[in-house]
Each structure stands twice: as C-alpha cells, then as structure tokens.
Amino acid sequence: MCGIAGVLNETEPRGVPEAGLRQMILALRHRGPDEFGLYRDAWVGLASARLSIVDLAGGQQPIGNEDGSLWIVFNGEIFNYPELRARLEGAGHTFATECDTEVVLHLYEEDGPDCLRSLNGQFAIALWDAQARSLLLARDRLGIRPLFYTRQDGRLVFGSEVKAILTQPGIEAHIDPEALEQVFTYWSPQSPRSIFRGIQEVPPGHYLLARQGDISVRSYWQPDFGQDEPGRTDDEYFEAFEELLTDATRIRLRADVPVGAYLSGGIDSSVVAALVATRSDTPLDTFSIAFSDAGFDESPHQRRMALALGTHHQEVFCTHGDIAQVFPDVTWHTETPILRTAPAPMYLLSRRVHEHGYKVVLTGEGADEILAGYDIFKEMRVRRFWARQPDSQLRPMLFARLYQDIPRLGSNDDFRRAFFGQGLTQTDAPDYSHRIRWQNTTRIHRFLAHDPVNGHGAGWQGRLPEAFSGWTALGQAQYLEMVSFLSPYLLSSQGDRMSMAHSVEGRYPFLDYRLVEFCGRLPDDLKLRGLTEKWLLRKLARTLVPPEIWKRTKRPYRAPIRRTFFGGDGRPDYVDELLSTRAVADTGYFKPAAVERLVRKAKSEAELSEIEEMAVVGILSTQLVDRLFVRGHRTPPVDDLTPSLKIVDATTLAAA
C-alpha cells in the first residue's frame, strides 16, 4: 500500500515544483513510510509514499515502462499479478521489477484503460502517458482505496487523501453544506462529493482521463444483482461459493511480509481466519478489540475463536477515555464528519498491529453486503410481508423478533406501527428498503443552521442502473447499501483511513470482485433464508468454526458515545470547547441553541436516543473538521526524504 499524489498542468507546460511534490508526500507519509518517489516533466508531477509489501527491494515508485513513455504511481495491491505477468511476458514485455505495480503499467500498454477490467485487487492508480500527454486516474471496483482531485487555475491536483491536495498553493478547504447534509443522512458524503467544496473523489469502479484540458470520468464496473437462470442446485452453488472464497483468501496472502487477521467475534472474520489457519502451514497472528463497556464487548467470542484456531492472539482493551483521547486524530484521518465513534477503536487496533510489526491484515468486511447480513434487509422483508396485509395485527410483531434488544418493540404496538409503518404500502419506491433508516437519520437535520437543500434522496437517485427495476427487492436493497454506505463510510472511515493511519493494509476476501459478482447472481434464499442471514456462509462456517460462533445472531459493531464524551472517565477539554455556544455560533454550521440543549441533556446523564448520540458525534466531528482543515490545516513538517527518495526528472526532455 501507498499514498499517491500529483499535479497536472492541463493546457500548458509550466512545470511542477519539486518542493510542492515533497509536501504532498509528507502529508501522506503515514500511508507509506518506507520509500518515497517523484516523477517530474514539464506537464506533470507524480509523487509516491510507499508501504513496501511485494518486492521489498525493487518496487520503489515511480516506475516506468521500457522506453520511459509511461510512468505510474500506485496505491494498492493486484492479487492476480503473477498470472497477469506470465501473460504479458508471453506477449514480449520485459520487467525490471518483481512487483505488481509494473504489471499494471505493461497491461495498460496492451489494453489502455480497459486493462482495469483484468485487475483483481484494491487500488488507486495515477498513470502518465508522456507521448499522448494524458493522465489516467483510476479506482478499484468497490472503492477500497481512496482517490481525490480538484481543478484550480489550469491544474488538476490529486491525492490519496485530501490533506495532500491542501498542501498546494491556492487550494483551501471549505465545508460543502450539501455534503454535510448527506453526512447527516447517509453517514458520509455520497460519491463523487467530498465534504469539501470543489474537491471530488473518483467514484468506485471509475476512471478519470485527463488530456489537453479535457477531463472525462467513466465507469468500468458496477454491482449487478440480476439473478442466474434456474438450473443449479443449492449444493452446486455452495461448492462454487466455497471455492471462490477460498481462492479469494489464498491470493490475498500473497506478500513478502507476514499477514495477520482481525477477529471480531462474528462469523465473517472467523471464517476468513479459519480458511487461513486450517489451510496454511504459516502460524497466524490475530487481533481484536475488547471494550471496558460490557454493552459493546465481544471479547469472549474472539478468544473462543482464537483458541479454536490456535492463533497467536493480541487484544486491544478500549475504554471510554481511550476513544475520547484519539477522536481528534481519528477525525484528522477520516477527513470528514462521522456519526459514530466506531472508527476510533479500529484506529487503536491498527496501531497495535503496527506495533507488532505487521503491515497486512485480512478482515471480514463485505460479507454483510454481498450475502444480505444486515438487519435492514430483514426489516425490508418483514415490511413487504406486512404490506400485503396492512391491517394485520400479527405481522408487525415480527419486528420484536427481529430487534430483540429494543424492549419497546415487544410491548408497544403503537410504536411498532408508527415507526415501521412509514410508507408501508409504497413497495414500488426504489428506496423502499432504506427509507426508514434515511428518514430517521435526517432527524439530525434539525441541528443544521441551513435549510436542507436536496432532502434524503440526494446522492443515489441519479446513479440507479437501468437494470435496477428488474432486480428482486433484496437485490435492490443490496445495491443501495453498497453505493451509499459500503465505500463512502465503511471502507473509508472504518477501513482504509483507520488502518493506513498506522501504515497497515487491510485486505478483504469477501470483496474479491469475482465473489461479489457471483453472490449478486445468487437466488435470494441462498443469502437471506426467511430471516436467517448469510445462509451460504453459515453452511460453510459449520465446517470451520465452533457452533457458538456460527449460530450467533449478528451483532452490529459499535462503540460507546455518550459516556465517551460526557462520562465518568473525565470529559476531554476539546469537547466543551468545540460544543460551546460561542464555538458553534462561530463556525456557523449548526443552531447554537439546539446544540446547547443537546449538550445539557448529555451532561445530565439522561439517556440519549440513538439519533441524539449520532448528533453529538456528527456535530463534534464537524467542529473538528473545521478546526483541523478549514481554519488550521496541518502543514507537513519539513523533513529530509533524501535517503529513501527516488527522483525521475524528465523536465528537459519533456519540454523539448
């Protein structure tokens, strides 16, 4: 893994200062502390901060092709690179390194942007074609690795993180009110927006092509939930699923450094760890989070799984005070407001992984999206069942079974009907599955100082594929979950940003595109059978993990909120400071009186509702984003990169 950045002069060869590229690298040093590299000519500057995982000695970037006409900086991994390399060598290409980055370069020589369809990996790419004077910026199918850009004064400026872009003269951070509204609806800005006005991301499964002042952004992949024609048996589907997941896990062990695994205590990470531990001769180190707050702790299940697999297990013990202490750093790395404290323990976990000398971990993210594991999918199914008999007294009672940890659902029929009955019979609405969630979250809008611009529909309506209306209700729900939540929030704020904060690469077997496409075509009941989620995975888990693990009801990963910022461990100074009436009025994003009432309630130790807790985190993190990026951007320290810096200076040649 790495951090990449650069500047393209779009219409005239003005050169790119080396000092500016060095600043961009320094802003990304946490992503790649091992080696640094620059490429410069009169038109473009490319920069790389490398975390060396494959070809430790020979893979330093930037990397050029045989005649020096193409140059690449690359963030990520291509897991099928050995197979692609053999094909390219057979076509006559010669390689100067053993790394996967060079494979991308030669594949581009063969296929141009279509080469992206051959890559099985997680990546962000910047590839400069000096002869065509074109720059390709590309991102992996699921958006595992980030890539942002902006245009300013005839320049295209890009980077793995916004903080690299903000090092450039004349580029400032200003929070976009519409993006903030999206955060307070979907939990994150919706692609291609970032939280900052004028700074966009390359969407998942897309590439940007810039050439002589013209820029186009094109899709090369999107999720598809059109089901297979009937014919396969359940056993045949299961065998194919097991084979694909096993191979996805196998190729994600390709590295020249040790590979560890996260254990959450749930079925997803447990199956991945079991596939590694039971089918490999290499001892496995596993890592997990334990909470001091028993309401969030799953450590007994984590320890049970580690014991069953015989792994070397490391545990991070996380208190309310620990979360509060690192929350400003967490916000610095997310670069966007968030509505949960859940990223903070992940930040602490990756720090522990780094301290133990690991650069790579396998995780279980993605299983809930591709195999319908979330409660929102079950909720949608119950609502559709109820909608067929809206006057039924019995059907709404299924919600009490679904949400057994919410006592009001078992005893209050009026509450069940009022909450889950919103838009009950509007089953043709494209957002039927997510409407209640989004309407519920938009209650936080009452704290916003500005009037909502687009309502809760903004961000996804224009991106529905033509085939959407022909998919099953479950397929439609899975698609919305992927595009609105998986990449924008889960793989970013809880994934890439928290692991790469400590130079740790997360790898996700369930997000192998072959497996994603396979599960998209599955019959619904092989994913969600009745109200039993991830049916195929549970069947596989029976052969790999203890019964108390695979039989567990899914428990969402969360971290404490009210007691973190207003609890007995002591309240951090920055909380009172940033949530004060004066500070809230000064930034202007929220209504000071409404925030004051919320803070007073939190300090009184009264129970906060889920929406009120999310509002606390959202308001506080927005105030932090304002302090860290809008008013006081951290300038990377001046540092000597020379011992590990590779410079390719083609300025004279390119100008000629």
User: Average pLDDT over the chain, rounded to whole?
Assistant: 92
Please give the pLDDT value at position 654: 43
Q: Is the confidence at residue 244, as pLDDT, over 60?
A: yes
Mind listing the pLDDT tens digit for each residue in 378-399?
999 999 999 999 999 899 888 8
Residues 115/108, Cβ–Cβ less than 8 Å: yes
Q: Is the confidence at residue 1, as pLDDT, over 90?
A: no
Helices 610-625 and 320-334, axial angle in degrees (round to 10)? 50
Q: What is the separation, in whole angstroms, between the first and last Cα of the chain? A: 35
Conformational region of residue 189, where left means phi above 0, alpha means psi within -120 to 50, and beta covers everything else: beta
- Rounded Cα gap, residues 457 and 186, in angstroms: 10
Please give the pLDDT value at position 656: 30
pLDDT range class, residue 552, cuts 50, 70, 90: confident
Mind listing the pLDDT tens digit for each residue in 62-78?
999 989 999 999 999 99
User: What positions carry a catalytic annotation?
Assistant: 2
What DSSP assignment string belongs to 480-509?
Answer: HHIIIIIIIIITIIIIIHHHHTTT-EEE-G
SS3 of residue 214 by DSSP: strand
Q: Is the confidence at residue 640, as pLDDT, over 70?
A: no
pLDDT range class, residue 198, cuts 50, 70, 90: very high
Specify the range with the lowest mean pLDDT, choosing from 117-131, 328-342, 601-615, 640-654.
640-654
SS3 of residue 16 by DSSP: coil
pTM of the model: 0.95
Residue 135, H or E segment: strand 134-139
Please give the pLDDT value at position 417: 86
pLDDT range class, residue 653, cuts 50, 70, 90: very low
Question: Rounded to 5 degrees, what are φ and ψ at 151?
Answer: -120, 135
Please give the pLDDT value at position 278: 82
Residue with more model confidence, 596 or 417? 596
Q: How many residues does the chain have?
A: 656
Please give the pLDDT value at position 551: 84
Q: Tokens 């920055």 map to which residue?
A: 574
Amino acid letter for position 581: T
Q: Could you tell me the two tokens for 635? A: 């300038």
Mind listing the pLDDT tens digit for each residue in 249-274?
999 999 999 999 999 989 999 999 99
Sign of CA dihedral 218, 224, 226, 230: positive
Q: Is the confidence at residue 456, as pLDDT, over 60?
A: no
Which residue, among 24, 15, 42, 19, has the nearest Cα to 171 in the 3D structure? 24
pLDDT range class, residue 636, cuts 50, 70, 90: low
In this structure, how many other beta carbons lie within 10 angstroms of the beta carbon of residue 107?
A: 23
pLDDT range class, residue 57, cuts 50, 70, 90: confident
Q: Is the confidence at residue 407, as pLDDT, over 70?
A: no
Rg (CA), the chain: 25
Mind listing the pLDDT tens digit for each residue in 307-362?
999 999 999 999 999 999 999 999 999 999 999 999 999 999 999 999 999 999 99
Specify the range with the lowest mean pLDDT, choosing from 145-154, 490-499, 544-553.
544-553
Helix-strand-coil split of the chain, %, nearest 5: 45, 15, 40
Q: Is the confidence at residue 568, as pLDDT, over 70?
A: no
What DSSP assignment string belongs to 317-386?
Answer: EE-HHHHHHHHHHHHHHH-S--S-STHHHHHHHHHHHHHTT--EEE--TTHHHHTT-SHHHHHHHHHHHH
Q: Could you tell me the two tokens for 613? A: 């807790």
pLDDT range class, residue 416, cuts 50, 70, 90: confident
Q: Is the confidence at residue 295, as pLDDT, over 80?
A: yes
Sign of CA dihedral 29, 149, 364, 183: positive
Q: Is the confidence at residue 651, as pLDDT, over 50?
A: yes
Please give the pLDDT value at position 6: 98
